[in-house]
Copies of this chain bind each other. A is one copy, B any other.
Amino acid sequence: MNTPAARPAARKARRPAATADAARASLTPETWVEAATTVLVDQGIDHVRVDVLAGQLGVTRGSFYWHFRDREDLLRRVLQAWSERSTAQLTKRLETARDDPREQLRDVISLPFRGRAAVRAARIELAIRAWARRDAMARQAVDESDASRIGYHGDIFRALGFAPDEAAMRAFLLYSYEVAESLLQGQGTPAQRQARRAYVERLMLQPLLP
């Protein structure tokens, strides 16, 4: 955060009458990133524009440049925020929540089933993947997140005793399953999906016979 934004109180005190200024002072960069993410999900990347967001947030276009160099800068922070929340923080939380790798495995497999938060997360992720089809910066962010998550899955399989190359291949397969449970929402009843989750867990734990 840059210095002026970090001192909204001092700014307000100097210019108490300016409504736009007060609105600007109360907006953090996170508010812009959040609004941009919502427009991305609901309307697609082409609609994420500074004037549209400023209108929605009820502030001037100029107040955007208080926090961001340009639209590209905002988009970069949208990707960073997504990656941080959906990959870095999530992985850290999963890693530290359990010691037993079998329980860690169960946790990652159950991620697509975690109610409304999972649905919202899946919608954001699909919007970012759609954007990444035609944008190198988004593509890189998605590739890095995928690689990081697959890496964490590989850690679990290694902790379970699989050799590194086998662990990496199982990691990809299990991650594929999780992505598909999010992507193919229409396939199977809730009961079928739960049965499938348990079956996949058993299959992924079973060593390959010679």
Q: Which residues of A come within 8 Å of B, CB atoms?
A: 42-44, 46, 123, 126-127, 129-130, 133-134, 139, 142-143, 146-147, 150, 165-166, 168-170, 172-173, 175-177, 179-181, 183-184, 186-188, 192, 195-196, 199-200, 202-203, 206, 208-209
Interchain nearest-CB distance for A106 vs B (Å): 16
Interchain nearest-CB distance for A68 vs B (Å): 24
Task: Give the nearest-CB partner of A193 in chain B.
Answer: B172
CA distance A168 to B181 in the complex (A): 14
Chain A contact surface mostly: helix
Task: Collect the chain B residues with CB atoms within 8 Å of residue A202's CB.
Answer: 208
Task: Collect the chain B residues with CB atoms within 8 Å of residue A127's CB.
Answer: 133
The answer to whether B147 and A186 have CB atoms under 8 Å apart is yes
> Among B46, B173, B180, which residue has its beta carbon within 8 angstroms of that of A203?
B173
CA distance A188 to B173 in the complex (A): 13
List 12 other contacts, CB 8 Å, given A129-B183, A172-B177, A199-B208.
A44-B44, A46-B46, A126-B129, A129-B130, A143-B187, A146-B184, A169-B199, A169-B200, A176-B179, A176-B184, A177-B177, A179-B183
